[in-house]
Amino acid sequence: MAETDAKRAQWQKLFDYLLGNQAAWIIDVGLKAELFRTIATAGPGGIREDTLAERLDYQPRYVRVWCRAAYAFELVDWDQESGYRLAPHMEALLLDATDPQFMGGRLQFYTALYEDYRAFPDSLRTGRVWPRNEHDPWLLEALKNLTKPDAVVVTEHVLPQAPEALAGLETGGTVLEIGPGGGYALAHLAKRFPRSRIVGIEFDPSSIELARRTLEDAGVDDRVEIRHGDANELADEDVYDLVVMNIVLHETGGPAEYRNVLRRTRRALKPGGTVIVSELPYPDSPAEYRAHPVYKALAGVQIHEAQVGCGAITQGELRALLEEAGFANPRVADQPLPTRFIMLAEK
């Protein structure tokens, strides 16, 4: 009997994984097809399936299928009289990129990894590296959406813990973002600090193209410089008041490259300048991977990270790297994102 109960519990665990996968794809569809946003626009009064289909010019049959799936997974609520409305807090969690708990971009990023999971059995044999710019172009867009809350967290939660740096940017300073990807943070920094000069260096041409579109759409393309460059070859000296690396250091190579990039970053800062390094909070021991849901998610995302040639920097390793590079006062930032480990330090 005990063995039967244990087997049933394991079956339930696997079935729950299946449900989570389905829910992620239903969310992905709802975001891409503007279904969630249209339901949100309808407000607390709700919207019926046929009205939703008509408003978006979609096929009623498919709208009905999606709505009922979204209801089953408690993403929307429903009643006979008024139809569908977003479930509590879903508007903020799925649609508001300024909310530190924004999950819309995160869920879309994870569904965008389908290519990597499909390719992994072959990669196990070949060991090939498959750069992001050779993936479906949507992956870069999804990555931009994933990191949107990070920009707000950096300026509104982390920078206040470096008050001199914050004050300098308010009056006019120079900021470098290494590896800005799709450019969302560059646009945010330009709007947040209109008196400061904002610079981004990006290695991937596809990301540069996306970033330029992002900056143009935000109306700040005339105030932000983005250039092609490799962080491992950063040659600037005593130029920047702030350097930001958001989920980038682990993409620059291995431990030798991490050390090189941080040494070059320190050289690029003005005396007293601040560096902010945000990384994925990998635990220092494999034994910890079951200790927190975030660690489980990170273990899963390594299927992608490894195939695109990225490494993994543990929390302890990041502290040691900053100290080794000669930074002063390296410290952990207090911030609301459990999926990030952010440290500050000064030159």
Residue 103 corresponds to which tokens in the numbers above?
A: 């999950």
Q: Are residues 46 and 154 in the same domain?
A: no
Residue 70's pLDDT is what? 99
pLDDT band at 1 (very low <50, low <70, confident <90, very high): confident
Q: What is the pLDDT of residue 134?
A: 92
Confidence class for position 2, pLDDT limits 50, 70, 90: confident
**Span 249-272, mean pLDDT?**
97
Q: Please indicate, yes or no, whether residues 74 and 131 belong to a single structural domain of this protein.
A: no
The verdict on 194 and 342 lying in the same domain is yes
Q: Do 123 and 18 fall within a single domain?
A: no
In-domain check, residue 214: yes
pLDDT digits (tens, 9 = 90+) for 123-139: 999 999 999 989 999 99
Average pLDDT along the chain: 96
Dump pLDDT digits (tens) for 139-198: 988 888 889 999 999 999 999 999 999 999 999 999 999 999 999 999 999 999 999 999
Nearest to 332 by CA among 259, 340, 179: 340
What is the mean pLDDT of the segment spanning 291-317?
94
Give residue 323's pLDDT band: very low, low, confident or very high (50, 70, 90).
very high
Within a domain: residue 315?
A: yes
| Residues 69 and 124 placed together within one structural domain of the fold | no
- Establish if 101 belongs to a structural domain: no
**Are 221 and 155 a contacting pair, CB within 8 Å?**
no
Band of pLDDT at residue 98, cut at 50, 70 and 90: confident
| 104 found inside a domain | no
155/84 same-domain check:
no
Same-domain check for residues 84 and 134: no
Q: Assess whether 126 and 75 both reside in one domain.
A: no
The pLDDT, as a whole number, for residue 268 is: 98
Strand order of the sheet with strand 240-246? 224-228, 197-202, 174-178, 240-246, 269-279, 341-346, 328-332
- Whether 103 maps to a domain, the answer reads no
Q: Residue 286 is part of a domain; what is its CATH number? A: 3.40.50.150
| pLDDT interval class at 13 (50, 70, 90) | very high
In a domain, 165, yes or no: yes
Q: Are 122 and 63 within one domain?
A: no
Q: Is residue 144 part of a domain?
A: yes
Instruction: Identify whether the C-beta of residue 216 lies closer than 8 Å to the C-beta of residue 224.
Output: no
277 and 249 inside one domain: yes
Whether residues 342 and 247 fall in one domain: yes
> The domain containing residue 33 runs over which residues?
2-95
Total number of domains constituting the chain:
2
Mean pLDDT within 7-26: 97
| Domain containing residue 40: CATH number | 1.10.10.10
What pLDDT score was predicted for residue 133?
Answer: 87
